[in-house]
Amino acid sequence: MNKGKPVIEADFCGVRMQYHADASLYLPESSTLLVSDLHLEKGKAQSKAAPLPRFDTSEGIAKLSAAIARTNAKEVIFLGDSFHTNLHAFQLPVIFRQQLLDLAKDRAFIWITGNHDPDLPEYLPGQIVPNYTASGLYLTHQIGEDEAKISGLICGHYHPKARISLQIRKISGKCFIQDETRMIMPAFGIFTGGLNILDPAIQKLLGKTQIAHFCHAGKIYKLPVDRKIFLKS
């Protein structure tokens, strides 16, 4: 496996991209930051059924704040499932609402709705939309039947991850996965889990030639998916 970096810069559909090891994507020419699937308040939503630490929202917003500070983005686009449920989006504590308002000062926030949060609350700063176009790229949460052939599409929803076999050990991590015209972003959230990039649900959306940007231990690695180091389980 090649030597990883904190950031990898490359073109996707003619647009310059910076792939960051924290699972964010930055478009430097338009100063646009993309993040997907934060699933804020997941710890609170699942604390009864399957207990999780309930600090995921504070950590998730802190992680978002760090990404904004690092890039000084003038536009931040959320690719859906920003909240784990609609109910918890509407019940978000005031302290977290204020933190989001503070982060949105002097920049545009665009919230794309997801399957977990189809009806976002009006207190959120910025626009709430079902999809969005930025730098000629079509941004959505989940690829619908009418969107399957769109070129320059970036989505979230699937929480792609990869498991890689090295000479002495196996490692796992979040993963950007793309072909020549479509990209699926990894989940930016803290407790989000993931779906293996070799799973048929992901593979059926992409063409034969695929590139993965694999995130692990604060670094990101660019790898062709045809390499045998990728494991199905």
Within a domain: 102: yes
Cβ count within 10 A of residue 218: 10
The answer to whether residues 222 and 211 touch, using CB atoms and an 8 Å cutoff, is yes
Q: How many domains does the chain have?
A: 1
Q: What pLDDT does 144 receive?
A: 87
Give the type of residue at 191: F
- Range(s) of the domain holding residue 206: 7-231
Within a domain: 111: yes
Within a domain: 109: yes
CATH of the domain at 75: 3.60.21
The answer to whether residues 53 and 213 touch, using CB atoms and an 8 Å cutoff, is no
Within a domain: 2: no
Angstrom distance (rounded) from CA 199 to CA 157: 14
The phi, psi pair for 220, rounded to 5°, reads -130, 145
pLDDT per position as a tens digit, 72-123: 999 999 999 999 999 989 999 999 999 999 999 999 999 999 999 999 999 9
Q: What pLDDT does 50 receive?
A: 59
The three state secondary structure string of the chain is CCCCECEEEEEECCEEEEEECCCCEEECCCCEEEECCCCECHHHHCCCCCCCCCCHHHHHHHHHHHHHHHHCCCEEEECCCCECCHHHHHCCCHHHHHHHHHHCCCCEEEEECCCCCCCCCCCCCCEEECCEEECCEEECCCCCHHHCCCCCEEECCCCEEEEEECCCCEEEEEEEEECCCEEECCCCCCCCCCEECCCHHHHCCCCCCCEEEEEECCEEEEEECCCCCEECC
Angstrom distance (rounded) from CA 162 to CA 61: 25
Helix axes 94-103, 56-71, angle to 10 degrees: 10
Q: What pLDDT does 35 receive?
A: 98
Ranges of residues in the chain with a pLDDT under 50 are none
Cβ count within 10 A of residue 28: 13
Within a domain: 1: no
Cβ count within 10 A of residue 117: 27
Q: What pLDDT does 47 receive?
A: 61
Within a domain: 37: yes
